[in-house]
């Protein structure tokens, strides 16, 4: 139905800060996504400007965390590309009080923007992170089984392979590059979910999406590829482009852009 659909995912690490820096305007002017998936919004809609909640060109949906100034996701959908979409939150048997799972249904497509847990606060948080990966896989598998085409993107909070992190030896076993969480990502791939970037560029290294604010990590490109797009294997043939927009400033993460021939 629609041609050349541009979907962008960005962990903004505080949407108000990105707007204040002028980086949201710069991003929108340059990339004008058809579907925009945001993570770590860190605000309730009533705290945001009209541009961020009543944009004339977008339907804007927010799924904030109950805790003020923490986590939260959002989805913007361009009005001139799609009729009024249906938005969803959460997933079965999961209390999404941190606003981690936002979804939109467009035709037969269920598109997710997800802020996966970090897991570093405590052992309970770590176990919760591993369970989240497993529960999410079960959910998207069930949706696919029901006939939905699923696309998911966001801050996965894990580097899957050594090529996805600047310093794999130094970080082996640490949160974000631990064998147990990497196994969960491998399980996604084994279940037929394609990491679009890695499938497209299997040997391309030194491409990351997150850099610490410390030690000029970004200017030295000492980074981690934490942000991804995944699609079903059958859908991958419709992907036309995937890119990390590393020049876009405003957050410690950069946006990821995927273009598909239609939805």
- Give the active site residues: 155
Query: How many residues does the structure list for the chain?
Result: 263
Number of C-beta neighbours around residue 77 at 10 A: 22
Q: 65 near 71, Cβ under 8 Å?
A: yes
Report how far residue 235's alpha carbon sits from residue 224's, in angstroms, rounded to the nearest whole number. 26
User: Which residues on adjacent β-strands are paired with residue 109?
Assistant: 106, 149
3-state secondary structure 108-166: CEEEEEEECCCCCCCHHHHHHHHHHHHHHHHHHHHHHHCCCEEEEEEECCCCCCHHHEC
Helix (H, G, I), strand (E, B) or coil at 204: coil
What is the C-alpha to C-alpha distance for residues 206 and 221, in angstroms, rounded to an integer? 7
Token pair 């799924």 is found at 63
The residues facing 39 across adjacent strands are: 11, 73
d(C-alpha 149, C-alpha 5), whole Å: 15
3-state secondary structure of 31: helix
């Amino acid at each position: 139905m629609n041609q050349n659909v541009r979907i962008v995912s960005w962990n903004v690490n505080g949407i108000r800060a990105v707007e204040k820096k002028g980086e949201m305007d710069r991003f929108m002017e340059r990339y004008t996504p058809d579907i925009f998936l945001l993570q770590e919004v860190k605000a309730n809609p009533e705290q945001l400007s009209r541009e961020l909640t009543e944009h004339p060109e977008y339907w804007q949906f927010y799924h904030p965390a109950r805790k003020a100034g923490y986590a939260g996701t959002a989805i913007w959908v361009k009005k001139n590309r799609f009729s009024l979409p249906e938005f969803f939150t959460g997933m079965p048997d999961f209390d999404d009080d941190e606003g981690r799972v936002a979804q939109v249904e467009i035709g037969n497509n269920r598109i997710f923007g997800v802020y996966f847990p970090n897991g570093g606060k405590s052992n309970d948080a770590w176990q919760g992170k591993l369970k989240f990966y497993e529960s999410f896989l079960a959910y998207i598998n069930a949706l696919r089984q029901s006939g939905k085409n699923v696309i998911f993107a966001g801050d996965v909070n894990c580097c899957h392979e050594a090529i996805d992190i600047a310093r794999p030896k130094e970080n082996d076993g640490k949160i974000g590059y631990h064998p147990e969480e990497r196994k969960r990502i491998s399980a996604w791939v084994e279940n037929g979910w394609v990491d679009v970037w890695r499938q497209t560029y299997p040997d391309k290294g030194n491409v990351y999406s997150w850099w610490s604010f410390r030690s000029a990590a970004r200017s030295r490109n000492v980074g981690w590829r934490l942000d991804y797009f995944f699609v079903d294997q059958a859908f991958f043939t419709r992907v036309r482009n995937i890119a990390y927009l590393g020049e876009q400033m405003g957050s410690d993460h950069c946006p990821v852009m995927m273009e598909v021939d239609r939805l």
